[in-house]
Every structure is written in C-alpha cells, then in structure tokens.
Amino acid sequence: MNWEDFLSFIALQESSSLLNPILRNAHIINESDTSITVSCDNLGIKIYIDNKRKEIEEYIELFLKSKKSLVTLVEAKGKKKAKAIEREDLPILSYPSSLQYVLEKAYLQERFTFENFAVSNSNQIAHAAAMAVAESPSVQYNPLFFYGGVGVGKTHLMHAIGIHILKKFPEKKILYCTSEEFTNDLIDLIRKKDTLQFRKKYRSIDILIIDDAQFIAGKTYIQEEFYHTFNTIVKNGGQVVLSSDRHPNEIKELEDRLRSRFAGGLMIDIQNPDFELRTAILLIKAKERNISLDIDAAKRLAERQTDARALEGTLLQLYSKSLVLNSNAKITTDMIDSEADKQQHNFIQNSNPNDIIKTVCLFYNIKSADLKGPSRKSELAYARQVTMYIMRTVLKTKLDEIAFFLKRRDHTTILHGVDKIAGLMMRDERVHKEIDTIVHSL
Amino acid sequence: MKCTVKTKSILPYLQNASRFTGSALSKVTALSGTLLRVLDTSLIVKATNINDFYEATVLCSSSQDGKMLVDGKKLVEFLALIPDKEVVIEKKDTSCVVHTSRGTGVFSCFDDSDYPDFPISPVDYVELNKEFIEAIPLVSFSASKEESRPILTGVYVDTSLEQLKLVSTDGFRLSVVSANTTTLPFPSSILSSRVLLDTITMLKESKSLQVGFNSDDQIFSFKGDDSVVHMRTIQGDFPAYAKVIPTSSQTIVEVDRQEMITNLKLCGIFARDYSNIVIFEVKKEEIRMRSKYEGEKNSIQTQGYISFSGEDLTIAFNYKFVLEFLQLVHSDTITISFGGSMSPCLFAPTDSLKEIFLHVIMPLRTDEVLT
C-alpha cells in the first residue's frame, strides 16, 4: 500500500484534522495479507494512532477494499541524519580500547584488514572498490558485490571494509553475516513469532555485509525479506556489501528484482590468485605467524599449492614438520616438494569418481541420473565432459573405468570428452575457472 | 466563553504553554494552538506536542464557561505590549477577541474537536526537594541536541540505587549528578532533557514541587502550585554510562577556573576555524593551550597550576565542551584528571558540588596528539 496515497485518501474523508498530519509522522515498514505495520517517531504518536486504530482500519478497508489490521511500533527515525562525526571526535560510549568489543558485536574478525590483504592483478580492482566503500560508505558503489571462486579473498575484503568503517566511523552500526545465518535468524524468529525483532535487527543497520549470498536462491520468503531489508537500508542511507561464488546472472532461482538490485551497484569478479599473489600471501602469513620462510621456498610452495585457501594450512603443516626435523625450524624446498607429492597421493587415494559426479551435478544444478543418462542435450553433454576431464586429470582414472561410471559405450567417447574440455580450457578463461572451482570444492 | 483576567497573571502561563507548541508536530494546526477553557472562576491554559503536556490554572472573573483553541504565541506577543492590568478574553463565533483599553485584538480559533486528551494525573505524588531542582541544569547541558538519537536527548533518572542519580550524555561527554536526596519510588526512566529543564525553570518558584508517575501511559507528572507538566518517558535503554567513568588517572591538575575560561575564549577565536580543537600541553611547569596548527605562533595561552601531580601529556579537546563545564560550575578552581591522551578525562569543581557532580569529556584524536 502506498502510504502517501493512503494519506491523501484520508484527507478527502471527513476525518479529524489531527489524524492526517499525525499519520505523516508514521511510516509503513511492512505489509502482509492481513496486517500493516507502521513505525512511529515517538511514543506519543504511537499512542495517538493506537487510540484511533479502529477509525484508521476502517479507512484502510475502504482504501484497499480488504480488511487489514494495523500494528504500530516506535522506531526513532532521524529526519536529519546525525551530523557526521568528524574524524577527530572520539565517542565516549566506545572509546579506542573497546574496538574489540565493537568488532565482536558486528561479527567482524580483526585479523582481516586492508593492511594484510595482498593485492595483485587478479584482485586489485576489487581492493580499490572495497577501499572506496570503506572510506565513504553509501556514496560510491551501493551495493558492492564481489564474486569469485573459493579462497580468492572475498570474505577477507568484506571484513576489512567493516573494520575500516568502524575505525573511521565508530558510531556506525555494522553487521556481517552469511546468507545462511540471515536465513536461520529469520526462521528462528518466525518460530518465536517475533519477525519484528528480526526486522529491527537487520533494517536498522548502517552497513550490512552478507557473505555467500548465492544461498538465498530458491528460497522465496527469504528472498522477499532480504529484498525489503536491502531497500530499507539503502533508503536510509546505508551500505550493502555482498559476495557470492558466481555472478548474479548465474545464480539460478534468484528473483529478478534482486538481480536487478545487485546490478544497480558495482559487481566485481575476483580471480584466483596467480603465482605472484600466492607467493605474497605466503610471505604475509609467514610473517604474521613468525615462521621463517625465504622467498624461494615461498615460490616453490606457491607453485605446488594452487588453492589459495589451503596455502595457510599447508604452511602450518610444513612449519610443524620443520620444528621436528631441524632445529632452526626452517622450511626447505625439499620439504615442500615431499609434502605436495604426499597430498596429491592422498587426494587420489581418498577421492572417488562418485564425489566428482556429485560435485559436478551440484555445480551445474543437474541430476546425477541425467548426467549418466543417454540425453545429448548440450548442457548435460557439457557437464558430462567436464566430469570425464576431472576424473582423468585429477584422479588419473582409466578411460574405460570412466566410461563405466558414466555409462558410456566405450573409451573413445571419454577421450573425445577429455580432449574437448582441455581445448576449451586453453581458449576460454571462463571454462578454466569453472573447472578450477569444481576441483577446489572437491 | 468569556472571562476577565489579570494580564500579568495570564502572560507567564501563556509563555510557558508556547514552549510546548514549538515542536516539529506544531505544523499540525491543532497542536500549534493553546487551549483556553473557562470553568467557573478558573481559566485553564493547556498546550501539548502529543508527548508532553502543560496545563495551568489562573483565576479569572466575570466568566462564562467555554473553550477555544488559539494561536498562543501571537496572543503572548499581543498581551506583552498591553499596559492594561486586566483584559477581557471572549470567544465570538470562530474568533478569539481580546478587549483592551486601546482596542481589540482578534485571533482566529482552530478546530478543537480533536484536541488530544490530557493524561490522567497520577494518584500519588512525591515531594521533590531543591537538590533535585538544582541538579537538572548540571546534567541537561550534556544531553544531545540531535533528535536522530532520542535516547541521548534525555536525562536518565536512575532510581535503582539508594541515592537518586541523574545522568546525561551526547556521546562525547557525560554528566553524572548524585542528587542529595533519597531515590524516588518510580522506575528508572529517561526524560527529555529539554522538557525537564523547561519544567524546572517554569515550576521552581512554586512553594511545592511534586512528581508522580503513571505507569500505563509511561508519563511523569511534575506539579507546581498551579501548573502541571506531564512528560512522556523516552523509550529505550540508556547506555551503560558507569563503564566510561575513569577510575584512575595519570595526571591530576587543579587550575583557576576564571583564568582558564579567559584562556579558552582566546584560543577559541582561532580554534573556531579548526573544528573547535584546542591542544592542551600539560607540563609540570604550566599548561599551554593553543588552537590546532598554531605551532609556535603567539596565539598560545599559558596558565599555571594550583597543583600538579603526574606526568606531562598532550591532549586535545573540543574547547566548547570544556568551556561549557567551566561556565556552569561556580568554584574558584577546578580539577582535571587525565588518564592519557586518548582516554576520557574527569572534570570536577572543588566546592561542595564536587561530592555530587562529575563531568567526563572525551578527548579528540588529532595527528598532533598522536605523534
């Protein structure tokens, strides 16, 4: 219901001279099939409206031609924004030593900052955009949408944005969460019949940071709630930052209105870190943990370990080995080679073709029965060929075994599929990224 | 409606009433008016902004019962210029007519059919002593003037302890007064600082000042001899103020209050161009105050101490915050306790108020202090 139109309608009725002007100090915040919720600037207005509830509900019925109950709550809405706190001002209510408390409240992790974010060609635009938003939230790119594969630094950048904003604007209300947490929160409060509490929590935020936004796809009510939350925050001058593992256009079952909202800001692709960036990340992580790692060892490790997320884990494994093997706890290139070979061997031992089939089906959103079936539809055939390629190159499975798993007639089909994907990977960067993403998620 | 009333009697009440018709909601015609009601020999003056309500009773004569809603501010301006001791106020059709020896003033009446109902007065009232009245100005100046954060525009009346505490903060400074009175038998609440100060100003000359609480409507009523102010509480949780009061200090100084006022006013001439920032260089020999970026130029003000203990430090303040505190208290000297360049500082008078009043100001972060 358009509130302004409703107020104009009331003005034409024989209502009290006070009603319409007072209703202008209320704002509709939610509407369902059976009720309309309005927020009032203060308790006096709420009480006045509550006393006139019956009259207002009659007007609503006349206006909408359907009965809806009126719910009121008090929500202070500054008609003018509080003066921006100058850089020098330190609020008394959260002075420097409580930064940790403030970060905890916002669910931000102090270890993810701009200072320890390694920048390279694959992520420098994302880094620049993140810095711009952190310096001046809600001014430049709203929303800011990062997408990319696993371990490329999306979460790091999002935390860094939040921390930077909190340091610069301590009075801002910031919340970081994953879309799964958003969903769980909503479900929990629906169960407790307290959706107003949910809306109060999320819609009064100045900066909302949502990680893994792709998981709201396919969930109608969650998407609707998120849509309204998004609109309210942006309308109130807030900033939204999101991330996903793929471009919004590639997120299936995502509502068009959300897709269009995301497209209204800036969408940035973060590529997998290249060799130089992986080396830089290793050196940063080694320094943070006081691990002795020279540049040659860092380069070797960056060569052997292409998964950015696994870099730190591998580094720590090597470090603990080095503590046992040599007294100065130095990580050598031999240790790196030996560990990498061992990991490869373990991976092949522990993985099986069914894992690959499952992962590919999940990625392309197809059924495993269709993947193994006789259908030659292009999307199924393509997914099938990707499966063949991964089984062959990663698990080193024999061609006839692959044919058996995928219910193909003979090994030549498999060979053709593997070669086709190998060729596509060389020509098309997008295919290369897709395969990498699937392999990493194994 | 018609009555004859002494000009000097009614004027102050109309002026008080106009304080309640000056809110944003006063664009609503009915709420921009003052209600006048004659009941026998009483003229009742009422005004409200829907959250706070004012009513006063004035004696009148030659009366005819009735009521009307008029533009109170215009009426005040008119009556202030009238030399007559008495005026006749009457309602004629839809106008309010004021008869004076110089002629008449005609004011349009507003539609009063939907004028908000006033809260029901509480059953029980409790006497307020002068300590409470004197405490209000000591806290209200620290409350925020920004409506975007309503909680901070209020004074927190903390009745949870044995002694009544009044607290206010705007986020950058904090005032706490332990009123020298036993606590009130009402729940701790947040009251609008502006309205509370206005109320005390209006009612402080009363022989008796009482307060009551209506829990259904969440309204406090302050009753004087012939006026009542009903004040709605501000909903929400007041910040945990106790945590920010410093409990230890690195440096404590005592300085002459008037001298510091003069020095700050001098620095303020230059500090105005730099966000009101004044740098305090607190050294063992003296305290030096200057505007930011002034360096060694001659706009530095120096001041000696009555006493000094601790270490040298450099700290920056919004000089207006410090000046407001200095001008509010009356002691010859004040003490400042510094916890460090980035820590909240405690300001206190050195007279009898020091037992009950403390003021905390948060310093500013500037490059000159950090380096």
Kind plus residue range of the DSSP H or E element containing B309: strand B307-310
Which tokens go with A394? 């990663």
Which of A21, A47, A88 lies closest to B275 in CB terms? A88
For residue B160, give the 3-state DSSP assignment: coil
pLDDT at B24: 53
Determine, for residues B31 and A18 on separate chains, whether the beta-carbon distance falls below 8 Å.
yes
| A184, amino acid identity | N
Q: Output the 3-class SS for B20-60.
A: CCCCHHHHCHHHHCEEEEEECCEEEEEEECCCEEEEEEEEC
Give me the percent of chain A exceeding a pLDDT of 70. Answer: 92
Q: How does DSSP assign A254-298, residue by residue?
A: --HHHHHHHHTSEEEEEPPP-HHHHHHHHHHHHHHTT----HHHH
Tell me the C-alpha distance between A314 and A292, whole Å.
Answer: 14
Contacts with B239 from chain A: Cβ below 8 Å? 93
CA-nearest residue to A47 within chain B is B217
Query: Which residues are bridge partners to B168 per DSSP?
Result: B175
- A97, A99, A332, B343, B361 from B250: Cα distances, Å: 16, 22, 50, 10, 16
B245 Cβ under 8 Å from any chain A Cβ:
no
DSSP B242: G
- Which residue's entry shows tokens 């330190």? A90
Half-sphere exposure of A420 (CA within 13 A, CB side): 14
Provide the β-strand partners of residue A111: none
Higher pLDDT, B298 or A2: A2
Locate the DSSP E strands across B149-271: 154-158, 163-169, 173-182, 189-192, 210-214, 219-223, 227-232, 251-256
Q: What is the pLDDT of residues B18-57, one digit of tens each?
A: 988 865 555 566 788 899 999 988 999 999 988 899 999 9
Q: Please say whether the beta carbons of A18 and A11 come within 8 A.
A: no
Interface pTM (ipTM) of the complex?
A: 0.70
Cα–Cα distance for residue pair A151/B267, rounded to 1 Å = 54
Contact: A92, B362; criterion CB under 8 Å: yes
User: Do you find a cis peptide bond into B83, omega within 30 degrees of 0?
Assistant: no
Per-residue pLDDT, averaged over B91-104, amounts to 89
Residue A147 above 90 pLDDT? yes
- Measured distance CA(A388)–CA(B34) in Å, rounded: 85
pLDDT at B43: 93
Q: For the whole model, what pTM was predicted? A: 0.56
pLDDT bucket at B142, cuts 50 / 70 / 90: very high
Give B212→chain A minimum CA distance, Å.
18
Interface of B with A in 180-199 (CB under 8 A): none
CA distances from B337 to A91, A93, B258, B307, B340 (A): 18, 19, 18, 12, 9
3-class DSSP state for residue A194? coil
Pairs across A and B, CB distance < 8 A: 108
Residue in chain B closest to A89 (alpha carbons) equals B364
Contact residues for A201 (Cβ-Cβ < 8 A; gap 6+): A175, A185
Predicted local confidence at residue B186, as pLDDT: 86
pLDDT band (50, 70, 90) for residue A41: confident
Q: What are the residues of chain A with a beta carbon less than 8 Å away from any beta carbon of chain B? A: 16-19, 21-22, 25, 42-45, 47-48, 74, 76, 78-83, 86-93, 95-96, 171
Contacts of A191 (CB under 8 A, 6+ apart): none
Nearest to B174 among A76, A81, A92 (CB): A92
Among candidates A25, A74, A82 on the partner chain, residue whose Cβ is nearest the Cβ of B146: A82
